[in-house]
Structure 1
């Protein structure tokens, strides 16, 4: 009681349970199942801090399927290992952040490496997302190789089938190419007019160099045979645990030409994971041997 004889409200009150205001309830066991399932399916190790992301992205799938419970949704996936919904589940939990010439210090190194190779250049972009990275690679090869660039190949893969559909079109907004120099814009893009105003499209000669197809880095067999002069695996390993990272790096060694380059993301370090690669520059590694 207060001195005025009135009841005082407690100084500290427990915050209301946010699940009471939500459309769906994501229980602790549901969240653990999601983490287990995406790890087994794609090698992605979701942290405890990703709970809100999981709720937001998978809620869209529940609405699309007219379902009311995460538990039922996850059980249906577990009971149907070949369901096409696994693709949607994986797509929903895959983060795609990219831009043209992202981590720009990598591209001069790629150009210098290409100019030293006498055989047709081959590059694998293992996380192609919506296409900005593989097209940046192709444009770099054109600048470095000139007429020989028509013989170069860029293999672009991603686990997310939805972003690959976008990448294949080669169409982007003006904002998405705003940081590209006017010279490169003129050389490598077509400007939309009329109904396509505000859009640009990658020129056919650039698109012809790039082949897109889905690939899960955890697959037992990759549909790749010829060794590569360079592999871009940027901002991918951060989603995997150390054993998975080591396994993927080991598989890379079977697909790289001697002294081939491996490009990593700005927050990734492979030196303490694999002895097969030597640090050559800022987040760039070389596979020992000759080009």
Structure 2
């Protein structure tokens, strides 16, 4: 259901992009919009991971630099049946983490120093399992494409504000052009947020399976939410389009389960993990630890 919903939302976002191109320039505008979308996505496919890691000043670490952290990710990757991703640390006091990369063979996971300092080893394992779930589900690629199309659509909508469409029979006129400039980016933002919330629930569930203990992630999420509320993440505030990449919202806005939230309601996420833990106990299943 999650994959189907994401596919529908992505198709809707792409259709909106092409529709705006058509309204601004007829069939020629739609073709230009399509070519532009393909070009921006190709660039994002190959370079988005490097860009976001550089944006947050992430430094790569190995088994000598951070043996416990690196070894934990290595074991969790084996549990998930994934190639070993690159491992990064961000010098940031806000406790948070994200995954990036175009596919499991070219993936990276990154945690802040704040996260590594605040959480215990079991909670860190729950968080990194969640990020590896994003890699396994290829959410990192989906979210990159979504962000890229949404950003390109906003840029395209600016043309509507300045030019009001082309002078042909398909031209929307100045008033409609202004409406496109206002509504198109808003619609793109709503689709982007809906996809982000959908993928987070799926990564919570799979992450719990990878580390073997749903309550580890539930405990971590509670601490991360409180920490993110108290501590600024200046890099994220300067680049709000990347907020959906993090396990918890890095921005100082109230996160609710509505159209305008980049993340699901935290109480709902924790409740689902607690229910999953209860199901495991009731069924008598025993889960292996992360290491």
Question: Which has the larger Rg?
Answer: 1
The structure showing larger relative contact order (alpha-carbon pairs under 8 Å, at least 6 residues apart) is 2
Per the normalisation by structure 2, the TM-score is 0.26
Per the normalisation by structure 1, the TM-score is 0.26
The answer to which structure has the higher strand fraction is 1
